[in-house]
Chain A
Amino acid sequence: MRRYAFYFDGSRCTGCKTCEFACKDYHDLDVGTAFRRVYEVTTGETVRADDGTFATTCASYPVSLACNHCDDPACARVCPTRAMGKDPASGLVVVDEGRCVGCGYCAMACPYGAPRVDRDRGCSVKCDGCAERVAAGSRPVCVDACPARALDFGTAGALRARGSQASVAPLPPPGLTRPNLYVRPAAAARPSGDAEARVANPLEVI
């Protein structure tokens, strides 16, 4: 099985969300559904002393995240109908809509929040790695869209050389699902599990 992976360069990403919206347009996703989301992590504080001067320890960085097409996908592990699974040819984790009953176990199990249940369609929906484009020799839409050139896609073997397996906050430790996401972290990035590194834009990633 081929192992496709995403690469995310946190030192380039500006949090602009072009990836998210290019995906939404290509896959025709409406309000409330996104296959890729951009998280803002903000740490530290900015205070004003009695003399009116500022001191800051504030730092902030974005993380763009879709499905990581994990080697040990939590979504597939819990799927009662085997609708969720890895495509044997590409290794991409995809939903078989014919089998999916929309129970939502995958959405609850995935530590990255990738699958969501689309109530109108009655099944789970998520990033399929633009499988059709990839099969035709192109890259996923989000990768080709990035103005800052912070995203890439390829085989895990090739991308491993450019970053470490996803272990920046707010992502969970990679040991949970063995994600196919390799990351070059921003200077301000905190490691997975860092207590202070909370998601600062919860309204934007619903």
Chain B
Amino acid sequence: MPQANLSRRSFLRTSGALGALAGAGGAVAATDALFGSGVPCAHAAPDEKTVWGHCAINCPGRCPLRFHVVDDEVTWVESYATPDAGFEDPQPRACLRGRTYRRWMNGPDRVNYPMRRVGRRGEGRFERVSWDEALDAIASELRRIIDAYGNESVFLTYATGVSSTTARTLPRLMNCLGGYLAGYGDYSAMQMQRILPVVQGMTGFYGSTLNAAEEAELILAFGTSPVETRQGGAVSHYDWVRLREKAGARIIYIDPRLSDSAMGGAGEWLPINPGTDAALVSAIAHELVVGDLIDKEFLDAYCVGFDEDTMPPSARGQNRSYRDYLMGTGYDKVEKTPEWAAPITGVPAARIRELAREVGTAKPLFVVQGWGPQRRSNGEMNCWSITMLPLLTGQVGLPGTNHGGREGSFSIGLKSIPAGQNPVKASIPVFLYTDAIDHGTEMTALNAGVQGAPALTQNIKCILNYAGNCLTNQHGNINRAHDILADESKCELIVVWETAMTDSAKYADYLLPDLFRFEQRSLIGTGGDVAYLVAGEACTTPKFERKSLYECLTLLARRLGVEEAFTEGKTESEWIEQLYEETRAKDAGLPTYAEALARGVYLRENPRGRTIVHEAFRADPAANPLSTPSGKIEIYSETLAQIAAAWDLGPEDVIAPVPVYTPGFTETDVPTERLPLRCSGFHYRGRLHSSWGGIELLRQANPQELWINPADAEPRGIAAGDRVRVANDFGATELIAKVTPRVVPGTVCMAQGAWHDADMGGDRVDRGGCINTITTHRPSPLAKGNPQHSNICEVTKA
């Protein structure tokens, strides 16, 4: 009979690509001494070493990676798995993407040498230069720009490709040089981050942990897919699977798409038109009021503005309460009946009434939303509205409840390298950086959300972009961003640090080769229902001419005369140790530094089991007031009323003092005869935003597809597997059709983050299925955030 001979080692021997290996053997390396926690280390080849590292991409998973290394080459990437772990035992296991790191580390897109642009910006033509040449030129250009235009002309773009305690050293360097124009917010949850602290206080952004929902009777999940957005084995992917299995609650997924979280049929999918959650909530709220299912005692004691009884003096007697909005006695004077909401949302009126009964009687009620409902042109109002359901029913701050925002996490917070003081006080919403290149001096606090100063005094002249793809790929309206970036008279210097030749990297004047965090010492802390930290070492020596950012910036600081201020005489390793010890001085339960490095992975259970948002406030609101002006939850917000009165806003820039339904911008949210379909993005297992977008192995099994309902596909002659073109006034992109009943008619869905692939000197049609070819650059009204799920389009066969 045959022998089992399809082993990894026989493959490696025959492939030869990764260096010779010793013969197959079953040697088992040391376990506890090296790796702690009983993590197995089976089947190590005799000359194989294993090294812990961590994923550092923009996902809270930061999963442990266990590199198997032979002759300074990684032969495979394991993760965390203890033998005989039960379902309840936390296991931070890397997702499918983490298992493909070898393809990225050694792939054709990896940046290996310092490069200088030789073609036009965006063309992607570079020549190799030495580190000395690159750094001398960057130092001299940076100095020239600071001297000519001031520090406010230097912008550090929003970039999230790398996280660790020492990964973000650019702000520190720039502060040594007199500062820089900072961006605030992000591209993930800008609208939610802006509105929830205003109405629920600074503790109101992160909600209860998911395991708090184990005690709930009903879970409403608005626009969230926890198994897709954070895919590791100890973040929301596993936490949601565990919750589904353990909770007695019924789960209702309110989403235009039957997401992977709703697969399996354990919950109910309630299909809805994208961006209309606020209309659904308004009608449910109306029915709660009419059916006397509201918790008036809670609303009076803990909230302001539900009805006239708790309106602030400035708004009393003017029919401006939330109740007035619902009942049609104030604002638009339209009663928010289920019949009003049905054609807007697509949810039948009878179902809305039924839902209201369920919401009004289920106790505890756990309402959670993802960042989908808020990443829209009406995102602030849409997100805020969803939080009304737990408030109206008094289901906040109690076991089994959430505040209606996104779930929170239990985490180990490790101290990061200090950035120092930024002498430049002005900052801009991160999404508006192309505006600030093009016409920064026209941007003010009132028209563009400038903070820290009444207005910008200078356009952006220099961009330093570390490990980010928001120059084009992840930014709104790529074609517009290209035009602004390609004009070298506007932004005069662009420096990009990368591990891959992304679309943004093609706009670099100087492109510098970065190391992965697992190619250097690195620490990070994170968590979901449980917390963990990962302490990693370099899995291999640095290859080619790649350098860590810290080393690169030290060399740059030397040229600019600020090396001592930048390093304080410390190597990066010394910083990592010092920062860890500073954290440990306040958190004595952490392992010693030496132990952390030896163990690789350290897990910590939440001592309280689960975290419940607003628990202290609910228990004693007088002793634990929220950081809102009233100290309570604000259903009517004077702050928002003042902002709406003071700011320069267009008619569709709705900032209402109560959470109202607004359809959003006409050009992105109201389908027309010419552009009859809505198009929404979503997170996809094959990428994390645009990270891994270049990995062919992932692309093959996770193709970039347009989800389209048969009712929309058939009249257009589109069959499953056809190549289709999605177009609107912003641009056109092509991808493959997935004809499926998992998306509502009238809406198509496209996973965000696919790599833009267009001839920008030619037809500009993107062949990569990158959604930002068709997204707007117009920011949301309050947060000035990216409304990238707000799109209308037409779809044709390509």
Is B190 among interface residues, defined by CB-CB distance under 8 A? Answer: no
Report which residue of A21, A26, A53, A90 has the largest number of chain B beta carbons within 10 angstroms of its beta carbon.
A21
A133: contacting residue among B42, B94, B746, CB under 8 A: B42
Is B261 among interface residues, defined by CB-CB distance under 8 A? Answer: yes
Interchain CB contact under 8 A, A54 and B6: no
B42: contacting residue among A29, A31, A121, A137, CB under 8 A: A137
- A135 CA to B265 CA, complexed, in Å: 37
- A61 CA to B258 CA, complexed, in Å: 11
Q: What per-residue 1/0 map shows which CB atoms of B623-643 lie under 8 Å from chain A?
A: 000000000000000000000
Is A11 among interface residues, defined by CB-CB distance under 8 A? Answer: yes
Interchain CB contact under 8 A, B263 and A46: no
A42: contacting residue among B15, B91, B701, B742, CB under 8 A: B742
Residues of A within 8 A of B (CB): 10-18, 20-22, 24-32, 34, 37, 40, 42, 44-48, 51-56, 58-62, 83-88, 90, 92, 94-99, 121, 125-126, 128-129, 131-133, 135-139, 144-150, 186-189, 200-206
B343: contacting residue among A51, A62, A97, CB under 8 A: A51
Could you show 9 A-B contacts with beta carbons less than 8 Å apart?
A16-B228, A25-B100, A32-B700, A46-B271, A84-B2, A90-B4, A94-B6, A97-B6, A139-B83
Interchain CB contact under 8 A, B233 and A132: no
With contacts A51-B342, A186-B265 taken as known, whether A60 is within 8 angstroms of B258 at the C-beta atoms is yes
With contacts A21-B99, A54-B347, A132-B26 taken as known, whether A60 is within 8 angstroms of B232 at the C-beta atoms is no
Interchain CB contact under 8 A, A53 and B744: no
Interchain CB contact under 8 A, A53 and B11: no
Q: Separation in Å of the B366 CB from the closest CB of chain A?
A: 20
With contacts A24-B99, A31-B700, A203-B736 taken as known, whether A53 is within 8 angstroms of B347 at the C-beta atoms is yes
With contacts A27-B11, A202-B721 taken as known, whether A147 is within 8 angstroms of B238 at the C-beta atoms is yes
Interchain CB contact under 8 A, A94 and B2: yes
- Which segment of B146-154, B570-578, B703-711 sits at the interface? B703-711
With contacts A95-B6, A132-B26 taken as known, whether A16 is within 8 angstroms of B744 at the C-beta atoms is no
Interchain CB contact under 8 A, A136 and B28: yes
For A53, what are the chain B residues with a Cβ–Cβ distance below 8 Å?
342-343, 346-348
- A96 CA to B265 CA, complexed, in Å: 41
Residue on B nearest A145 in the bound complex, by CB: B93
Interchain CB contact under 8 A, A14 and B269: no
Interchain CB contact under 8 A, A54 and B271: yes
- A139 CA to B100 CA, complexed, in Å: 20
Is B71 among interface residues, defined by CB-CB distance under 8 A? Answer: no
Within residues 1 to 37 of chain B, which ones have a CB less than 8 A from any CB in chain A? 1-8, 11-12, 14-15, 18, 24, 26, 28
Report which residue of A85, A121, A204 has the largest number of chain B beta carbons within 10 angstroms of its beta carbon.
A204
Report which residue of B18, B93, B703 has the largest number of chain A beta carbons within 10 angstroms of its beta carbon.
B93
Q: What per-residue 1/0 map shows which CB atoms of B245-286 lie under 8 Å from chain A?
A: 100000000000010111111100101100000000000000
Interchain CB contact under 8 A, A54 and B237: no
Is B191 among interface residues, defined by CB-CB distance under 8 A? Answer: no
- A147 CA to B81 CA, complexed, in Å: 10
- A147 CA to B260 CA, complexed, in Å: 14
With contacts A46-B271, A136-B26 taken as known, whether A58 is within 8 angstroms of B742 at the C-beta atoms is yes
- A137 CA to B41 CA, complexed, in Å: 11
With contacts A51-B342, A145-B99, A149-B87 taken as known, whether A28 is within 8 angstroms of B11 at the C-beta atoms is yes
A203: contacting residue among B77, B346, B703, CB under 8 A: B703
A87: contacting residue among B4, B263, B700, B745, CB under 8 A: B4
Is B291 among interface residues, defined by CB-CB distance under 8 A? Answer: no
Interchain CB contact under 8 A, B265 and A188: yes
- A70 CA to B81 CA, complexed, in Å: 27
Q: Separation in Å of the B627 CB from the closest CB of chain A?
A: 36
Residue on B nearest A48 in the bound complex, by CB: B745
For B18, what are the chain A residues with a Cβ–Cβ distance below 8 Å?
28
Interchain CB contact under 8 A, A94 and B3: yes
B1: contacting residue among A86, A135, A137, CB under 8 A: A86
For B703, what are the chain A residues with a Cβ–Cβ distance below 8 Å?
203-204
- A29 CA to B375 CA, complexed, in Å: 38
- A173 CA to B3 CA, complexed, in Å: 29
For B228, what are the chain A residues with a Cβ–Cβ distance below 8 Å?
14, 16
For B24, what are the chain A residues with a Cβ–Cβ distance below 8 Å?
132
- A15 CA to B685 CA, complexed, in Å: 9
- A25 CA to B106 CA, complexed, in Å: 13
- A14 CA to B228 CA, complexed, in Å: 9
A94: contacting residue among B4, B77, B262, B697, CB under 8 A: B4
- A61 CA to B698 CA, complexed, in Å: 21
Is B329 among interface residues, defined by CB-CB distance under 8 A? Answer: no
Interchain CB contact under 8 A, A87 and B1: yes
Residues of B within 8 A of A (CB): 1-8, 11-12, 14-15, 18, 24, 26, 28, 40, 42-43, 76-79, 81, 83, 87, 91, 93-97, 99-100, 102, 227-228, 231-233, 237-238, 241, 244-245, 258, 260-266, 269, 271-272, 342-343, 346-348, 685, 696-698, 700-703, 705, 709-711, 720-721, 736, 738, 740-746
Interchain CB contact under 8 A, B263 and A186: yes
With contacts A46-B745, A48-B745, A58-B742 taken as known, whether A24 is within 8 angstroms of B697 at the C-beta atoms is yes
Interchain CB contact under 8 A, B741 and A44: yes
For A58, what are the chain B residues with a Cβ–Cβ distance below 8 Å?
258, 269, 741-742
Interchain CB contact under 8 A, B260 and A16: yes
- A135 CA to B25 CA, complexed, in Å: 11
Interchain CB contact under 8 A, A85 and B1: yes
For A121, what are the chain B residues with a Cβ–Cβ distance below 8 Å?
14
For B233, what are the chain A residues with a Cβ–Cβ distance below 8 Å?
146-149
* 6 new A-B contacts at CB < 8 Å, known A16-B96, A52-B342: A12-B241, A16-B231, A30-B697, A52-B346, A54-B271, A206-B700
For B271, what are the chain A residues with a Cβ–Cβ distance below 8 Å?
46, 54, 56
For A94, what are the chain B residues with a Cβ–Cβ distance below 8 Å?
2-6
For A30, what are the chain B residues with a Cβ–Cβ distance below 8 Å?
697
Interchain CB contact under 8 A, A12 and B702: no
- A139 CA to B461 CA, complexed, in Å: 56
Residue on A nearest B11 in the bound complex, by CB: A28
Residue on B nearest A43 in the bound complex, by CB: B741
For A200, what are the chain B residues with a Cβ–Cβ distance below 8 Å?
740
Interchain CB contact under 8 A, B6 and A56: no
For B736, what are the chain A residues with a Cβ–Cβ distance below 8 Å?
203
For A21, what are the chain B residues with a Cβ–Cβ distance below 8 Å?
96-97, 99-100, 697-698, 701
Report which residue of A18, A137, A203 has the largest number of chain B beta carbons within 10 angstroms of its beta carbon.
A18
Interchain CB contact under 8 A, B4 and A83: no
For A83, what are the chain B residues with a Cβ–Cβ distance below 8 Å?
2
Q: Separation in Å of the B43 CB from the closest CB of chain A?
A: 6
For B244, what are the chain A residues with a Cβ–Cβ distance below 8 Å?
11
- A17 CA to B720 CA, complexed, in Å: 21
Q: Separation in Å of the B130 CB from the closest CB of chain A?
A: 35
For B15, what are the chain A residues with a Cβ–Cβ distance below 8 Å?
28
- A169 CA to B18 CA, complexed, in Å: 40
For B78, what are the chain A residues with a Cβ–Cβ distance below 8 Å?
144
- A45 CA to B713 CA, complexed, in Å: 13
Residue on B nearest A56 in the bound complex, by CB: B271
For A135, what are the chain B residues with a Cβ–Cβ distance below 8 Å?
4, 26
With contacts A47-B711, A133-B42 taken as known, whether A96 is within 8 angstroms of B2 at the C-beta atoms is yes
A61: contacting residue among B231, B263, B741, CB under 8 A: B263
- A51 CA to B348 CA, complexed, in Å: 9
Rank and list the top 6 A-B pairs by shortest CB-CB distance, nearest first.
A188-B265, A96-B2, A131-B4, A147-B233, A186-B264, A144-B81
With contacts A48-B746, A51-B342, A145-B99 taken as known, whether A31 is within 8 angstroms of B697 at the C-beta atoms is yes
For B77, what are the chain A residues with a Cβ–Cβ distance below 8 Å?
25
For A40, what are the chain B residues with a Cβ–Cβ distance below 8 Å?
263
Q: Separation in Å of the A150 CB from the closest CB of chain B?
A: 8
Residue on A nearest B42 in the bound complex, by CB: A138
With contacts A14-B237, A21-B698, A25-B100 taken as known, whether A133 is within 8 angstroms of B263 at the C-beta atoms is no
- A42 CA to B42 CA, complexed, in Å: 39
Residue on A nearest B348 in the bound complex, by CB: A53
With contacts A18-B96, A188-B263 taken as known, whether A147 is within 8 angstroms of B231 at the C-beta atoms is yes
Interchain CB contact under 8 A, B741 and A42: yes
